[in-house]
A = this chain, B = another copy of it.
Amino acid sequence: MKTALYCLLLSMAGLLALTPAKPTRVVFFGDSITQAGVNPGGYIDRLRKALPADQFELIGAGIGGNKIYDLYLRMEDDVLARQPDVVIIWVGVNDVWHKSSFGTGTDPDKFVKFYEAVIKKLRAANARVVLCTPAAIGEKTDFTNPQDGDLNQYSQLIRDLAKRQNLPLVDLRQTFLAHNLKNNPDNKDRGILTTDRVHLNETGNQLVADEMAKVLKEM
């Protein structure tokens, strides 16, 4: 009898060991930078290679030109419908940039309100949420990139939000600035981490992948 029971338990343990654990499903929710992130060499592509496939399923959900309220408007279809375990929100460049390029940027107080509304819905669907600061519109390190004031402001709003809601933060603006202070001695506006002041080159994609991997491994 004892032996039989023992055998049974062993079998069950064996079955459990063989059953693969469901990998953590991560949705990257953002703008054109994230849209390009799934391309070969993009930051999501690099994360797929860096993280164990049985532990992480990575899904890109970036659309060019998106501002925080675009994320809000499309989150049901593009994020919640995929039942993510983790959602990494990376937005803000267009909320600032569209002020001067279309006259349709986002007021800072509305930026926070819609960001909060996105987080609330994600949490209600039991997704863990990670915030990111917008990295750069221009890589000059002396804060003479035209949108630096606004980008610093919106980044600070996101940092405050992460703190207030006790959410993990990937502070890409800080990371990019630190990298450029070391690697951009000529104060160039592009070419260190971006191709065009905003979108990531190879080094930029790797840096973002590294920073996000750190946070994902701890979740």
Contact = CB atoms under 8 A, between A and B. Distances in A.
Interface of A: 69-70, 73, 98-107, 110, 113-114, 117, 138, 142-153, 156
Q: What DSSP secondary structure best describes chain A's contact surface?
A: helix
B156 A152 contact: no
A69 B149 contact: no
Nearest to A100: B103
Give how many copies assemble into the complex. 4
A149 B144 contact: yes
A185 B166 CA distance: 26
Contact of A146 (B73, B101, B110, B153): B153
Contact of A153 (B69, B113, B144, B151): B144
Contact of A147 (B117, B138, B149): B149
Contacts of A117: 73
A138 B144 CA distance: 16
A102 B103 CA distance: 8
Contact of A142 (B102, B110, B152): B152
A152 to B, nearest CB: 4
Given A99-B102, A101-B101, A147-B149, 7 more contacts: A99-B103, A100-B102, A100-B103, A103-B104, A104-B105, A142-B152, A149-B151
A113 B144 contact: no
B149 A73 contact: no
Nearest to A116: B73
A167 to B, nearest CB: 21
Nearest to A138: B149
Contacts of A145: 149, 153
A104 to B, nearest CB: 5
B150 A146 contact: yes
Contacts of A143: 143, 148-149, 152
A106 B144 CA distance: 16
A99 B146 CA distance: 11
Contact of A156 (B104, B144, B153): B144
